[in-house]
Amino acid sequence: MQAELEMNQEQEIQFKQMKKKKSKKRLDSWLLLLPALSIFIFFFLLPLVFLFITSFKTFDAATGIGHDWTLQNYAKFITDQFYLGVLWRTVKIALITTLAAVIISYPVAYQITKIRGRMKNYLTLLVLSPLLISMVIRCYGWVILLSNNGVVNNALMKMGLIDKPLTLLYTEFSVVVGMVHVLFPYMVLSIMGSLERIDPSVIRASQNLGAGPIRTFFSVVLPLTLPGIFAGSVMVFSLAVSSFVTPAILGGPQVKVMSFLTYEQVSTILNWPFGSAIGFLLIFIATITIIIYSKLLTRSEKGVAIQ
Amino acid sequence: MRKVLPKACLNFFCILIYIFLAAPIVVVLLSSLTTTEYIVFPPKGITLRWYAELINHPEFMQSFTLSITVALGTSIISTIIGTMASIAVVRYEFRGKTAVTQLIGSPLLIPSVVFGVALLQFFSWIGLAASPVALVVGHFILTIPFVMRLVVASLVGFDRSIELAAKNLGAGSLRVFFQITLPVIKSGVIAGAIFAFITSFDDLTVALFIVSTDVVTLPVRIYTYMQYQYDPIITSVSSIMILLTVILMVVIERILGVGKVFSSKN
């Protein structure tokens, strides 16, 4: 009886100690998170919530933001052909960019994963270097290349292919070229990841069964890397839809996209409520695509697993 | 033959893509050497005149110093706070953990233009004027998802028994962190710091909303300059930045190895 009581007491003490330790641990974790969380809530969440509220306010020419509530900002966008055109152009440019990025990234990713040793490091560095060099500078390089008396036009005229310079700069074409150049590394990294995960014995099996390199590629390698292509596409598409620098430098006011429209409304026209509404529509589109894509991604991963 | 032809095609295609990748950078570098008053490629004659001309444009130097300061500040703060948060997320179980990780990862989903506008409105309401501090705050939000991803990746495979051993031998928690944990997750932390530095140094979108006439970062300076002028000064500024990046990359390669920096990214 005595012994049992002691046991119980001991257990209780142990339990209390555990509880104390647990609550100390919880305190530790919140202390570690505190700086990050407070900056986030104060300088990220709050500003966005306030901007969201602004998007439901009326426009006041004197102060920018009026006092009355309205849905007019969103209604104006959805009913106006011009703004819907901008939305469609933004999505179109992002889609073409994503497609072009897949087409040009795949061979490069494939080549890099085949090579071994030092050369592989150098090529990886070459492919990733655009990430490290300022986006403004890279876009400026494209301005020099694509302008009316630029390198591309001069070369084409010397070859006698065209008589007068083509308008390349400040068109949807120049925006797509710039964006593919900027976003290319993300796609290569994603495809390289899935190529490197392929079990080499699968490829050997296909070759042993008599398939040539092309057939092996299309019926074994390509299907196995679909998840990587999907993942890369989500990233490139969502970055392309919301990117600002490239369309601002290579498209300008001639090729308006959603992000440029937001910037213009806020900083030139000073219509804050309408600018914020456009911004939140942009967030909405980016989020929707990511949700759709990730649904597709889980389905395609299941497909690969079944195969 | 069956094997050689596809390979040759592949290599040819890849070379074209490498040319595409290098073209804008090479063009900027070479046209900075032109003797003409306007930008032309290929450059006419070779001179370093446009680099000397920079002396007459002290505003570029000012912006450069500001950008470096802001990028260093962002990198240091983001890495310290990000590492702390990563440890909390990886090592502790607590309520609302998924919500916290999703919140900290969410800047990747929010277009920087929208964040820039939101920050501008908020800063003007609370009366925080354009300053290096305001820029660091904005860039902190942009960079922390990357830092956390890299540090979390290096923490996940961590063998905690060595920490326990150190503790059993009488080391305090801080000492355990600095002498055991930090050296092991070093590559993730350094990669995070480098990414934060580069992202901050390169940022135009958010800075465009925060800057004022005296506080102008280098990307904003270049962007506004090229809206009005088309002289080779921009190419010489850009070339200096490219060369600095190359030097930085060589240093990183020597210290860490390229593979390491980028492999931990996935």
Q: What is the pLDDT of residues A236-279, one digit of tens each?
A: 998 999 999 999 999 988 899 999 999 999 988 889 999 999 99
Chain position carrying tokens 């596409």: A233
CA–CA distance, B70 with B136 (Å, rounded to integer): 6
Contact flag B121-A244 (C-beta cutoff 8 Å):
no
Give CA separation, B169 vs A151, B165, B182, in Å.
68, 6, 18
B75: left (phi over 0), alpha (psi -120 to 50) or beta: alpha
Q: What is the pLDDT of residues B45-100, one digit of tens each?
A: 788 888 888 888 889 999 999 999 999 999 999 999 999 999 998 888 888 888 88
Portion of chain B with pLDDT greater than 90, in percent: 31
Tell me the DSSP string of B90-128: HH---TTHHHHHHHHHGGGTS-HHHHHHHHHHHHHHHT-
What residues of A are in contact with residue B119 (Cβ under 8 Å)?
A: 43, 47
Q: Which helix (H) or strand (E) holds A67?
A: strand A64-69
Q: What is the pLDDT of residue A153?
A: 86
d(CA A89, CA A219): 35
Picking from A126, A181, A105, the residue whose alpha carbon sits closest to that of residue B253 is: A126
Q: Cβ contacts (< 8 Å) between A50 and chain B: which residues?
A: 118, 121-122, 125
And the tokens for B106? 């969410």
Task: Report the mean per-residue pLDDT for chain B.
Answer: 86
CATH code for the structural domain at B56-265: 1.10.3720.10
Write down the domain spans for chain B.
56-265
Confidence of residue B155 (pLDDT cuts 50, 70, 90): confident
Say yes or no to pLDDT of B32 above 90.
no
Residue A197 has pLDDT above 90, yes or no: no
User: Which DSSP helix (H) or strand (E) runs through A58?
Assistant: strand A57-60
- Quick check: B78 and B147 in contact, CB under 8 A? yes
Chain B partners within 8 Å of A266 (Cβ): 117, 120, 209
Residue A57 above 70 pLDDT? Answer: yes
The whole-number average pLDDT for the span A288-301 is 74
Most A CBs within 10 A among B38, B40, B90, B117, hence the mutation to make, goes to B117
Q: How far apart are CA B180 and CA B161, in angstroms?
A: 11
Residue A307 has pLDDT above 60, yes or no: no
Q: What is the pLDDT of residue B76?
A: 97
**Overall average pLDDT of the A197-222 stretch:** 85
pLDDT, position A20: 63
pLDDT category at A180 given cuts 50, 70, 90 is very high
Which pair of tokens denotes residue A8? 């119980």
Count of H-run helices and E-run strands, chain A: 15, 2
Phi and psi, residue B263, nearest 5°: -70, -30
Check CB contact under 8 Å for A121 and B241: no
Structure tokens at B255: 């210290």
For residue A76, pLDDT over 80 is answered with: yes
CB contact under 8 A, B28 and A141: yes
pLDDT value, residue B265: 40
- Write down the pTM of the prediction: 0.86
Residue B196, pLDDT score? 92
In this prediction, residue B115 has a pLDDT band, given cuts at 50, 70 and 90, of very high
Determine the Cα–Cα distance for residues A99 and A94; give it in Å rounded to an integer. Answer: 9
User: A69-73, A255-259, B172-176 — which is least confidently predicted?
Assistant: B172-176
Confidence of residue B1 (pLDDT cuts 50, 70, 90): very low
What is the rounded average pLDDT of the residues B179-206? 89
Q: Name the average pLDDT for chain A.
A: 85
pLDDT greater than 90 at residue B38:
no
* B13/A107 Cβ within 8 A: yes
Q: What is the dihedral of CA A173, B229, B240, B209, to 10 degrees?
A: -80
Per-residue confidence (pLDDT) for residue A257, from 0 to 100: 94
- The CA radius of gyration of chain A, in Å to the nearest whole number, is 27
Angle between helices A135-146 and A151-158 in degrees, nearest 10? 30
Q: How much is the pLDDT for A305?
A: 44
Q: Which of A52, A136, A214 to mutate to test the interface with B (most CBs of B within 10 A)?
A: A136
Of A96, A254, A82, A260, give the one whose Cα is nearest residue A168: A254
Q: Do B219 and A134 touch (CB under 8 A)?
A: yes
> Which chain B residues are closer than 8 Å to A191 by Cβ?
none
The pLDDT assigned to B266 comes to 36
A307 Cα to chain B: minimum distance (Å) = 25
Query: What does the block give as tokens for A120?
Result: 């592989």
Q: What is the pLDDT of residues A111-169, one digit of tens each?
A: 988 887 778 877 887 788 777 888 899 999 999 899 888 888 888 888 888 888 888 88
**Choice between B143 and B228, residue whose per-residue pLDDT is larger:** B143
Number of helices and strands in chain B (H, E): 13, 0
* Helix, strand and coil percent figures for chain B, each rounded to 5: 75, 0, 25
User: For A182, which DSSP code?
Assistant: H
Question: Of A32 and A100, which is predicted with more confidence?
Answer: A100
Cα A190 to Cα A293: distance, rounded to the nearest angstrom: 15
Token pair of B221 as six digits: 């300076």
Q: Is the pLDDT of residue A297 over 70?
A: no
Q: Cα B164 to the chain's mean position, in Å? A: 35
